[in-house]
A and B are shown apart, each in its own frame.
Chain A
Amino acid sequence: MNRFSTLMRNRWVQLGLVVVVAALLLYAPLVLPVFANQTLIRIGVYAVAVLGLNLIMGYAGQVNLGQIFFVGLGAYVAAYGVNQDWNILVVFIASLVVPGVVGLLIALAAARLGGLAIAMVTIALPIVGVPLAKRLSDFTGGSQGTSARFSSAPDWTGLYNDQWQYYIVLVVAAAAFILARNLVRGKYGRAFTIVRENEAVASSMGISPYRYKVLAFTIASIFGGASGFLYLVAVQYTSPETLSFPHSIGLVIAMVIGGAGSIAGSLIGGAYYVLVPQLTNAIDPSFTAISQGVILLAVLFLLPGGLVSLPRVIRRLTRRRTTRSPQGDSPQTTPAEPPPADAAQEGPENTERQIRP
């Protein structure tokens, strides 16, 4: 195990791994069946939404129960743009900017109240959003929804539609993940962490909790918008059902199960969001909601860092068996340490998190 982790810290090994994974991701859609491709596409779509949620909830520590609203908003803006024959690049930018601006306005008001006010305000977003989407039928197509066909593969590529959509989702999702990774490792990520840990300390260091909460929320909304654009690429149709309340809760559950405060955890969260309901629906649809609740509570009790912390927990358990070093383990949505694969580069952040009381 130890030799394995030192091997993982080697820069060249890491680089090699990245190249292999990238090659696999690029090659996979060409050989996989259509259904597998579609599943991968949906994982990519929701991983971006979960990633945005992770930035505001996992890193900045502000509970957001309305992320799906921004996904739906992004999808609607994209659908509107496509149906108005805008350039696809303009459509993409609009589906980022509009949710971003709306998120900014909401955060400016909601972040004024400390504590759980953001959670209490954002829970209203999907519940207000559904009737609002039905009402604005000129823009959204009412309860019928609106479809936008624009992601068919161009002839010159020689690809099937699902493969083309896969590559669009892959490019945008990869960009989102790289951007998020750089964000949380830099100055802003450290600011988010200290705002989450202790607002008084943050303000005494000249970091305005209010401003960083608003910033994190806005960024999360933009990621939500990107996810909405990708949703439209994948499904080519959106309706008020897209932004319904259970979906919003589902995103939060997926984020916590994947691993709050972890970039890799967001990917696992996206996979969880797509795969597990698919599985439980296949067994018995009436069982889906119960299993979601049970799995979430079980993870919170047994694995508070989410699935991404599983290797670390296993390693700790095996180490404890040999050295018997007692280590406290208090439940929290935010893991005390980043995932093992990232551990090497995250030195400063690591120590910062370890001084937590």
Chain B
Amino acid sequence: MDTFIQLVVDGLSTGSIYAALALAIVLVNQATGLINFAQGAMAVLSAYIAYAFTQAGLPVLLSILLAVVISFVMGAVVERFLMRRFERGDPDTAVVVTIGLLTLITGIAAWLWGYNNRQFPSLFPLSSVEILGAVVSVRSIATTLTIVAIMIVLQLLFLRTKLGLALRAVADNPSSAAFSGLPVGRLLMVGWGLAAGLGAIAGSLVAPQLTLTPGMMDTALVYALAAVILGGLSSPLGTVVAAWMIGILENLAAVYVPFIGHDLKIAVPFILIFVILVVRPQGLFGRKVVVRV
């Protein structure tokens, strides 16, 4: 039972990281209708930026916050000068552009910092506490709580502020939004910036566990995409629940299913996707989209 609680709490924490990345993907998808495969690579670059600040002697929290701000700008710039040109065109081309971006950003990170693992300082203490007789690491709990807090803030931003309303309007119908005088282009930049900032938080929180490498988020990206598929692209809440579910299930499967073990646990969301796609193609929480011709 102790191990079980420990696994669930750790799973929730890694699931929260996937959830943050998945939410960033959903955010971009809602705004522009495309999947940004470079979201993970951008998060890695953000984590490297935070790492560079900590190396310069800044406290960890401040470094992460600075990285978030820089990432926001980076996301906005990428949208304006790279993606803008492809947004209205063929979606497949836009996907290939994000693949190019993924290669480019991974390349930049590898060029600047090399392929060697870098130790990223943890934001939270590495001690552990006892809950219901199980030993649980403080870092796991704190990571989960941080991500939950950020989600609440994002939710408030989208539902309670004018900026959020404008962002939702652009996501819902760009041309109508433009007719009502909304600066669609700038709002798209904000959407990409928010997504990049979210990715920066995910990258900085997961970096101490995985150690920084240019390919650090490749697997996390796959988990996040799995969460996006399972949750249904149209439902942020579904995505978060799916990410948590994946985080917990893969942890449990790694320990309790001998064949899967720790090396093959990435297959868990994949198998889950197959089952869900066959049984419920619109995702667990997604709405069935009716396409009009």
**Does B105 count as interface, using CB distance less than 8 angstroms?**
yes
Chain B CB within 8 A of A249 CB = yes
Instruction: Determine whether the beta carbon of B264 is less than 8 Å from that of A131.
Output: yes
User: A113-B281, A132-B267, A292-B107 are contacts. A57–B92 as well, Cβ < 8 Å?
Assistant: yes
- From A117, A201, A290, B107 is in contact (CB under 8 Å) with A290
- Cβ contact within 8 Å between B278 and A249: no
The answer to whether B101 has its CB under 8 Å from any CB of chain A is: yes
- Asked if A330 and B89 sit within 8 Å, CB to CB, the answer is yes
Residue of B102, B225, B264, B273 near A249 (CB, 8 A) is: B102
A137 to B29, CA, bound (A): 40
In the complex, how many residue pairs between chain A and chain B have their CB atoms under 8 Å apart? 146
CA distance A300 to B273 in the complex (A): 32
Q: What mask results when residues 71 to 112 of chain B are scored 1 for a CB within 8 Å of chain A, else 0?
A: 000000000001001100111110111011111111110110
Contact B35 A296 (CB under 8 A): no
CB contacts under 8 Å to B, within A130-163, are 131-132, 134-135
Hey, which chain A residues are within 8 Å of B82, CB to CB? 297
Given the interface pairs A116-B35, A128-B266, A132-B267, the reply to whether A252 lies near B111 with Cβ below 8 Å is no
Within 8 A of A (CB), among B111-137: 111, 114
Given A132-B267, A296-B96, A127 and B219 touching (CB < 8 A)?
yes
CB proximity of A258 to chain B, nearest CB, Å:
13
In the assembled complex, A2 has its CB within 8 A of some CB on chain B: no
Contact between chains at B92 and A63 (CB < 8 Å): yes
In chain A, what residue has the closest Cβ to B29? A116
Binds B, one of A35-43, A72-80, A281-289: A281-289
B270 touches A124 (CB 8 A): yes
Looking at the assembled complex, report how far the CB atom of A254 sits from the nearest CB atom of chain B, in whole angstroms: 12
**Of A114, A200, A300, which is within 8 A of B97 by CB?**
A300
Question: A62–B70 Cα gap in the complex (Å)?
Answer: 34
Instruction: Tell whether, in the assembled complex, residue B103 and residue A63 are in contact, meaning their CB atoms are under 8 Å apart.
Output: no
Tell me if B150 counts as interface (CB < 8 A to partner A).
Answer: no
**A297: nearest residue on chain B (CB-CB)?**
B100
- B189 CB–A CB distance under 8 Å: no
* A101 CB, nearest partner CB in chain B, Å: 15
Known A-B contacts A119-B35, A127-B218, A300-B86; A294 and B99 likewise in contact (beta carbons under 8 Å): no
A296 proximity list for chain B (CB < 8 A) = 96, 99-100, 103-104
Contact B92 A333 (CB under 8 A): yes
Size category, B interface = 35 or more
**Which residues of chain A come closer than 8 Å to B266, judged between CB atoms?**
124, 127-128, 131
Contact A286:B110 (CB < 8 A) given known A253-B99, A297-B97, A300-B96: yes
B225 touches A124 (CB 8 A): yes
Q: Which of B104, B269, B270, B282 contacts A293, CB < 8 Å?
A: B104
Contact partners of A123 in chain B: CB under 8 A: 37, 221-222, 225
A128 x B90 contact (CB < 8 A)? no
Chain B residues with CB below 8 A from A223, complex form: none
Check A200 against B86 for contact (C-beta < 8 Å). Answer: no
Closest to B218 in A: A245
Q: Shortest beta-carbon distance, A357 to chain B, in Å?
A: 11
For B270, list chain A residues within 8 Å (CB): 121, 124, 128
- In the complex, are the beta carbons of A117 and B229 less than 8 A apart? yes
Give min CB distance, B32 to chain A, whole Å: 12
Q: B108 to A290, Cβ gap below 8 A?
A: yes
Chain B minimum-CB-distance residue to A127 = B222
Q: A334 at interface (Cβ–Cβ under 8 A)?
A: yes
Contacts of B264 in A (CB 8 A): 128, 131-132, 135
Q: Chain B 217-261, CB within 8 Å of chain A: the 1/0 string?
A: 011011001101100000000000000000000000000000001
Within the complex, the shortest CB–CB distance from A166 to chain B, in Å, comes to 31
Roughly how many angstroms separate A346 CA and B62 CA in the complex, as a whole number? 61
Closest to B226 in A: A124
A109-B278 contact given A289-B103, A296-B96, CB 8 Å threshold: yes
- The answer to whether the Cβ of A110 comes within 8 Å of any Cβ in the partner chain is yes
The DSSP consensus for interface residues of chain A is helix
A128's contact among B37, B97, B102, B267, by CB below 8 Å, is which? B267
With A112-B278, A134-B263, A200-B293 already in contact, the answer to whether A293 and B100 are too (CB < 8 A) is: yes
Chain A positions within 8 Å of B291 at CB level: 114, 200
Q: Which of B90, B92, B107, B274 has the most CB of A within 10 A?
A: B92
- Provide the residues of chain A in CB contact with B108, threshold 8 Å: 290
Contact B95 A293 (CB under 8 A): no
Cβ distance A328 to chain B, nearest Cβ, rounded Å: 12
B106 — which chain A residues lie within 8 A by C-beta? 289, 293
**A116 touching B96, Cβ below 8 Å:** no
Instruction: Choose from A57, A113, A297, A334 the contact partner of B277 (Cβ within 8 Å).
Output: A113
A115 located at the interface, meaning its Cβ lies under 8 Å from any Cβ of chain B in the complex = yes
Q: Which residue of A lies closest to B229 (CB)?
A: A120
* B215: interface (CB < 8 Å): yes
- The smallest C-beta distance from B81 to any residue of chain A, in angstroms, reads 11
Interface string of B21-42 (1 = CB under 8 A from A): 0000000000000110100000
**Contact in complex: B274, A109 (CB < 8 Å):** yes
- Please measure, in the bound complex, the distance between the C-alpha atom of A293 and the C-alpha atom of B99, giving whole angstroms: 8
Write the residues of chain B forming the contact surface with A, with a CB cutoff of 8 angstroms: 34-35, 37, 82, 85-86, 89-93, 95-97, 99-108, 110-111, 114, 215, 218-219, 221-222, 225-226, 228-229, 261, 263-264, 266-267, 269-270, 273-274, 277-278, 281-282, 291, 293
Q: Sorted from nearest, which 8 A-B pairs have the closest CB atoms?
A: A293-B104, A289-B107, A290-B107, A296-B100, A293-B103, A200-B293, A120-B225, A112-B281
Q: Name 9 extra pairs, CB < 8 A, besides A331-B86, A331-B93.
A: A109-B273, A110-B277, A112-B278, A124-B225, A135-B264, A290-B111, A293-B106, A297-B100, A332-B89
15 contacts between A and B (CB under 8 A): A113-B229, A113-B277, A116-B91, A121-B277, A128-B222, A135-B263, A292-B104, A293-B102, A297-B101, A300-B96, A300-B100, A301-B85, A331-B90, A332-B92, A333-B90
